[in-house]
Structure 1
């Protein structure tokens, strides 16, 4: 018997569904992508979705068995660290590989839209959550989904306008300094 509010369980159901859809999309996008940077970004996001799924399933199982919110979900974390630093390293590693076909760019744009939807979902739920640990979990999900959105935007800019990407991320100026 669950002690959790029905709204919390519905949120977790919806979150699990979204994360599974995200994983499925990233698996397909990685397989179809013609560019190594795009493939690596999609593979990394697929791994992140696996972690999100595992966290949500553990929380859901605990709550439906009569447990309460706890911090156990924190033990499931990403292996890549900061995504911005990860992408910067990836961009330098594949500096010569900036060609992307329209399908790669379209997949990045779909991912961007998907992650924006995830951010909106979690932000709405964050505003409604009452339990402190639930708020902490949802807050972390917001941060992680925003980082997914950012890496996809970076990948799109890198593949469509690498000069602008390097100027933006290398802090190069046009003033001769």
Structure 2
């Protein structure tokens, strides 16, 4: 049986390959995006992928150096959700909701696929590990990738149905009297 550290090193190598692809996609989408909401969303995702890549690379290096996985895998995700970070950076005027170009939708769809691939990678590995702390570590990683996927899906909803998105996210009522209390 392969030691836990070697298994995790192999998993982290595959995860880092996916993260590099996502980073490139988000960087390109950020540069070509026409509106502030899309640019900020892709910027936040790009920065999150950079942070994850740095943390996972550090863990991989420690495991390759022979450090015990329980000491190497001290990984704590950020306290603030990506949606909260996005909300702090943008303000929306319901009368100026943007329309997405085809390229932004393609980038969002590609990002969702890459995020799903990362989620599957971690969840598949969870099925094979027996150590509860390893499962907890992998669940945290999968949860972060699911959050990225939710953010991409939310932005896609924003572009494809801006009025529906605004109604849902602002909790506006149909009579126009404001948010539901």
Q: Which 10-residue stretch deviates more, 116-125 or 148-157?
A: 116-125
**Alpha carbons 2:16, 2:53 under 8 Å: kept:** yes
Gaps of 5+ in 2: none
Q: Given the superposition, is the C-alpha separation of residues 89 and 157 from structure 1 closer, same or farther in structure 2, using an over 3 Å criterion?
A: farther
SS in 2 for 1:73: coil
> TM (normalized to structure 2)?
0.83
- Paired residue for 2:75, among 73, 91, 98? 73
SS in 2 for 1:92: coil
Gaps of 5+ in 1: none
Alpha-carbon distance in 2 for matches of 1:78, 1:94: 29
**Alpha carbons 2:40, 2:86 under 8 Å: kept:** no
Alpha-carbon distance in 1 for matches of 2:60, 2:130: 17
Q: Kindly state the Cα deviation for residue 145 of structure 1 after the two structures are TM-superposed.
A: 0.6
Q: Kindly state the Cα deviation for residue 164 of structure 1 after the two structures are TM-superposed.
A: 0.8
* Mapping for residues 9-158 of structure 1, pairs under 5 Å: 9-69=9-69, 70=71, 71-74=73-76, 77-78=77-78, 81-89=80-88, 92-93=91-92, 95=94, 96-158=96-158
**Alpha carbons 1:26, 1:42 under 8 Å: kept:** yes
**Alpha carbons 1:3, 1:66 under 8 Å: kept:** no
**Alpha carbons 2:30, 2:43 under 8 Å: kept:** yes
Q: Kindly state the Cα deviation for residue 5 of structure 1 after the two structures are TM-superposed.
A: 4.6
State the match for 2:6 in structure 1: 6
Aligned residues: 173
> TM (normalized to structure 1)?
0.84
**Alpha carbons 2:115, 2:145 under 8 Å: kept:** yes
Alpha-carbon distance in 2 for matches of 1:90, 1:5: 39
